[in-house]
């Protein structure tokens, strides 16, 4: 006879066996879908063809948008203008100045229904030579899509952060030289600002730096022109005072140079120069006489040796 405990254990075993392999609704019959067959193409090239250098990957870095205008053509004169002042990538060259010059040249010609940026993208490679041209050729194909992209890459390549740091330091440490006039110092300071247009200094800081870099005489002159303390004026007023003082000094300097030139041409040669000129003439004449005397002695000697002895006259 089966006891109740035996029947209960048999039922539990049967129930446990029914859940060993659960039913998967997503994969009927628990079968994985077969992988699609891989189709391989036969390479029918010869050995010589396989060993040839690839002919792909020669696309330019600059992508010029399609131009739909009729009868569009770049004039040879425009190419000549662009090539007259090329950028080589030397350390002393200014990429900002090159971009400004290039923009000025390309702005002289307008083409109907043609964006100016497209013209710039087409012409810019002709404005490069040497290391700069090599740089552009090494850029990845189709990596420059707009004119802004091109300017950004060009400036970052030839105006690295280290150069920016050096120029910023020169601006902040600017000092008027011992033998430098006011307008010469102002011009030199502006040249530094022009060489680094992204210096980031506000006009207030520029004026403060320049004023504190001047000698005491020029500072007093600015204070006098301001009718008090120069630094108590508004920045725009300070700038006008500096520019006015610079122009006056420059005009005076030019007038003095012109006066000296006129006086020199009118009075003729100074006594010191005339005396030196006479001394040079005397030396040359003495040397000429010595040469003639030597030639005469040599001729007499040769005549004596040829004759062969003393003769009565």
Instruction: State if pTM tops 0.75.
Output: no
Q: Domain spans of the chain?
A: 76-159, 164-267
Q: What is the pLDDT of residues 142-160, one digit of tens each?
A: 999 999 999 999 999 999 8
Least confidently predicted of 71-85, 104-118, 242-256: 242-256
Tell me what pLDDT residue 268 has.
Answer: 46
- The pair of structure tokens assigned to 133 is 């041209």
Position of tokens 């005009």? 251
Phi, psi of 87 (to 5 degrees): -105, 125
Helix 147-158 vs helix 131-138: angle between axes, to the nearest 10 degrees? Answer: 130
Tell me what pLDDT residue 266 has.
Answer: 45
Decide if pLDDT at 8 tops 70: no
CA geometry: angle 203, 205, 208, nearest 5 deg:
110
Decide if pLDDT at 34 tops 90: no
Q: What is the pLDDT of residues 165-214, one digit of tens each?
A: 999 999 999 999 999 999 999 999 999 998 888 899 999 999 999 999 99
Strand partners of residue 62: 144
Tell me what pLDDT residue 74 has.
Answer: 83
Q: What's the Cα-to-Cα distance from 291 to each of 30, 284, 305, rounded to whole Å? A: 122, 11, 21
Mean pLDDT of all residues belonging to the chain: 78
Q: Return the higher-pLDDT residue of 3 and 189.
A: 189
Q: Return the higher-pLDDT residue of 186 and 290.
A: 186
């Amino acid at each position: 006879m089966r006891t109740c405990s035996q029947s209960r254990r048999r039922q539990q075993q049967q129930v446990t066996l029914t859940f060993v392999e659960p039913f998967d609704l997503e994969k009927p019959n628990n079968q994985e879908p077969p992988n699609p067959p891989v189709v391989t193409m036969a390479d029918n090239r010869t050995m010589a063809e396989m060993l040839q250098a690839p002919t792909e990957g020669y696309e330019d870095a600059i992508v010029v948008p399609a131009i739909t205008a009729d009868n569009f053509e770049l004039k040879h004169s425009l190419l000549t203008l662009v090539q007259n002042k090329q950028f080589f990538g030397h350390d002393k060259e200014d990429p900002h100045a090159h971009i400004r010059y290039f923009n000025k040249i390309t702005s002289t010609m307008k083409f109907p229904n043609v964006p100016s940026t497209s013209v710039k993208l087409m012409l810019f490679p002709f404005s490069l030579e040497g290391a700069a041209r090599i740089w552009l050729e090494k850029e990845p194909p189709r990596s420059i899509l707009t004119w802004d992209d091109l300017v950004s890459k060009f400036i970052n390549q030839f105006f690295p952060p280290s150069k920016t740091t050096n120029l910023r330091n020169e601006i902040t440490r600017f000092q008027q030289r011992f033998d430098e006039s006011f307008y010469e110092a102002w011009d030199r300071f502006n040249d530094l600002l022009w060489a680094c247009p992204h210096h980031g200094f506000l006009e207030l800081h520029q004026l403060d730096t320049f004023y504190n870099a001047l000698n005491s005489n020029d500072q007093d002159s600015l204070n006098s022109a301001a009718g008090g303390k120069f630094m108590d004026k508004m920045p725009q007023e300070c700038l006008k005072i500096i520019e006015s003082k610079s122009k006056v000094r420059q005009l005076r300097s030019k007038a003095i140079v012109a006066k000296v030139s006129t006086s020199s041409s009118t009075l003729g040669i100074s006594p010191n120069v005339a005396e030196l000129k006479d001394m040079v003439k005397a030396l040359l004449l003495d040397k000429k006489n010595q040469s003639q005397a030597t030639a005469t002695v040599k001729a007499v000697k040769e005549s004596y040796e040829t004759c062969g002895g003393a003769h009565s006259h």
